[in-house]
A and B are shown apart, each in its own frame.
Chain A
Amino acid sequence: MQRRVACMWFPRLASDRALRLRPLDGPFALTIRESNTNRIHCLNHAAEREGLHAGMPLADARSFCPEVLSAEADPEGDTRFLHALRRWATRYCPWVGLEGKDGLVLDVTGSTHLWGGEAGMLTDMRQRLLRTGLSVRLGIGDTRGAAWALARHSEGRAAPGAPLAALTFLPASSLRIPAETAMALQQLGLHTIGDLAKAPRAPLTRRFGPELLLRLDQALGQQPEQITPLEEPPHYGVRISLPDPIGLTADVMALTERLLRRLCETLKTHETGARSLCLTLRRVDGGSQQVELRLAAAMRDPSRILPLFERGVGEVDAGFGIDQMRIEATQVEPLPVQQLSHSAAVQTGQIEDLITRVGTRIGLENIQRFVPADSHIPERAFHSVPAAWSSPESGWSAPRPRPLRLFPPEPIAGSGTEPPRSFRWRRIAMETDRAIGPERIAPEWWLEDEAWRSGLRDYWHVQTRQGRRLWLFHTPQNPGWFVHGEFA
């Protein structure tokens, strides 16, 4: 079967996308910051008619056409949009690749008859894209090179089997060659592809290197060229539709288990684990309810995930019944298979399940663990981090005895650099029995910290006659006494 390749070129992809989000009349340009100048990145037809062109500094464009409206370009968003278009284009054929930053290439061999021939397919493409507000140039030919040349330079169709016929009168620059090469060819008098095909090959190779003739041969089908379709990202969603609505918690859980088993199969083949799941229950009256589950660790074991849904499913209002269920892993993480050994702890994972269960009630962020931090400031010598996103760390060392509990500094009456002989703290009269200190701690000036504005601190370990052992500090630069913690 004769290979047929179609090429879509979106000459105004970026501005069309911006105008789709916020339509407006009149000249419009997207700008991008390049070497300290805002330059026009992409512009609409009205702006082009005003004499503006891509690459022009925005200031110049304003002087040509004061009413031009502009916005910042978002190249990453454009790339995402092109990927979405690529996915959409798989409706025409399964073999769709990207062509540069603003085009798609489709291997439509054997699928054109579904649209009543090539002309019908091109019409369908054009109509659908125009309806979404995208300007497109289409080309179809025997090779990728021919389709590209036609899309860029003379929209249309090359008859199958005779690639040169359609390309003869196209300029040499339509061969996907650098602009300098095209310019040099023009100076040699080789204006069109037809000229180039007739010219002797050896001198051309000697002058321009092998690339020029490779491109020519690719366009004429004498050299093969691949189209690389992108891999579809794995889809972690499963659904089930029921002939009759259900309403019992046990039934919903049973179906959830069936869905989870299918989902976990997918997770297993991709060696990933779900980090958060969303169960959507569609009711017969059209309403839908969602049960979200955030897991403390990536997992793909249905028997472990299922009990974690119990609390959420129990709260669902089934109304007149549920007739459709869908479960999706909204966040996945790589989870490679691991070698099991009989010496490893069997109960690993039980804590994570517990954290998840508790986390559904108070929020996963509120279950924390301590990790050591590198600071001599008492309250910054450790971090409290959510346990679900951290692992236990060792390396705890207190250079000097530290209190068991810390609280925000509580002022007490006192003067001088020695701890007061007697003081009142939390309405209790205390007498200092013994004081050990001072331990001077300087603020970390490189970090802004409201609590350490008062400057240096001299810490004292104070043993009171009443028994309590307190951690007092004195701020010599800003005289005052405070209680900061209590020892064991």
Chain B
Amino acid sequence: MRRSGDMFGVMSRNLSTSFPLRPARVHEAYGSAAPVLAAVACGQVEGSLFWITENWLPERLNPLGLSTFLDPARLLTARTGSQIDSLAIAEETLRDGSLGLVVLETTRPLNLREGRRLQLAAKAGGTPGLCIIPEGMGSNAAETRWKAEPLPSLESRDSTLMRWNLKKNKSGTLGAWDVRWDAETRRLHVVSPAGE
């Protein structure tokens, strides 16, 4: 189907070397399952979470849907007027150090200066950050960049089969994994890719 054969070798690599997102760094995710990746990442950290979006975006997080990943009471959302505000708040919250994860949804590309400032803030506060970016608008300063796409699954109704493709990794190798979220145990399962 869509998978190229050479990826199977990479896929055997352990997801755990790169997935609970490396702390004190800013990561990026894109693709239509990127919000799911962000939700999974939120569920894997302790403490309060901050989710920054711009107020003109029509999409809204649904806490009931989110509750399979984490307790929505831990989440704070910020709605900003522009990306400048979003970036300023992301910097402030990353630097503060009292949060578990800061998720930032961007709508235009970050330049190197902006990306670098976020990295410095994350380093100062020791907080991981995750930018949900439109495809192809990543910043060179990002620690890792993930492409997350849903996969059709043949089994049960609430399946959350996704393909996570690590497209960029500053300190490690790339890879791709088919993953599924288990809502019962709140765990991420890596599943072996379906054969053709």
Contact = CB atoms under 8 A, between A and B. Distances in A.
A241 B89 CA distance: 36
Given A362-B78, A366-B55, A469-B150, A403 B62 contact: yes
Contact of B65 (A354, A392, A467, A487): A487
Interface residues of B, number: 47
A379 B58 CA distance: 13
B48 interface: yes
B60 A407 contact: yes
Interface stretch (A173-181, A208-216, A457-465): A457-465
Interface string A367-406: 1111010000011011010010000111011100111111
Contact of A403 (B65, B89, B153): B65
A350 interface: yes
A347 interface: yes
Interface in B94-137: 96, 98-99
Interface in B50-83: 55, 58-69, 71-81
A366 B71 CA distance: 21
B23 interface: no
Given A369-B76, A396-B67, A465-B152, A488 B181 contact: yes
A351 interface: yes
Contacts of B61: 370, 404-405
B78 A354 contact: no
B32 interface: yes
Nearest to B79: A366
Nearest to A487: B65
Contacts of A103: none
A355 interface: yes
Nearest to A381: B64
A394 B70 CA distance: 12
A488 B81 contact: no
B73 A392 contact: yes
B196 to A, nearest CB: 15
B62 A357 contact: no
Interface string A458-478: 000101111111000000000
A452 to B, nearest CB: 17
B181 A486 contact: no
A408 interface: yes
A394 B63 CA distance: 12
A378 B62 contact: yes
Contacts of B75: 369-370
A466 B150 CA distance: 8
Nearest to B38: A404
A140 B69 CA distance: 76
A361 B62 contact: no
A406 B150 CA distance: 17
Contacts of A354: 92-93, 96, 98-99
A295 B33 CA distance: 36
A359 B55 CA distance: 15
A436 interface: yes
Given A361-B85, A398-B67, A382 B62 contact: yes
B45 interface: no
A433 interface: yes
A485 interface: yes
B164 to A, nearest CB: 13
A461 B99 CA distance: 34
A278 interface: no
A144 B131 CA distance: 74
Interface string B29-48: 00011011001000000001
A358 interface: yes
Interface in A298-319: none
A423 B149 CA distance: 20
B129 to A, nearest CB: 14
B100 to A, nearest CB: 11
B191 interface: no
B158 interface: yes
B77 A384 contact: yes
B60 A406 contact: yes
A398 B89 contact: no
Contact of B64 (A350, A358, A382, A469): A382
A394 B92 contact: no
A404 B62 contact: yes
A358 B93 contact: yes
B7 interface: no
B10 interface: no
A310 to B, nearest CB: 12
Contacts of B65: 398, 401-406, 485, 487-488
29 contacts: A351-B99, A354-B98, A357-B96, A358-B89, A362-B78, A362-B89, A366-B78, A366-B80, A367-B78, A368-B76, A368-B79, A369-B73, A369-B76, A369-B77, A370-B63, A382-B64, A394-B71, A396-B72, A397-B67, A398-B64, A401-B158, A402-B62, A402-B64, A404-B62, A433-B152, A468-B150, A469-B150, A488-B33, A488-B181
| 7 cross-chain pairs, A with B, having the tightest CB-CB distances, nearest first | A392-B73, A370-B63, A404-B65, A467-B150, A350-B98, A402-B64, A396-B67
Interface of A: 347, 350-351, 354-355, 357-358, 361-362, 366-370, 372, 378-379, 381-382, 384, 387, 392-394, 396-398, 401-408, 433, 436, 461, 463-469, 485-488
Interface of B: 32-33, 35-36, 39, 48, 55, 58-69, 71-81, 85, 88-89, 92-93, 96, 98-99, 149-153, 157-158, 160, 181
Given A405-B59, A488-B39, A488-B68, 15 more contacts: A351-B76, A358-B78, A358-B92, A362-B78, A366-B80, A367-B76, A382-B72, A401-B65, A404-B61, A405-B60, A406-B65, A408-B58, A466-B152, A467-B151, A488-B160
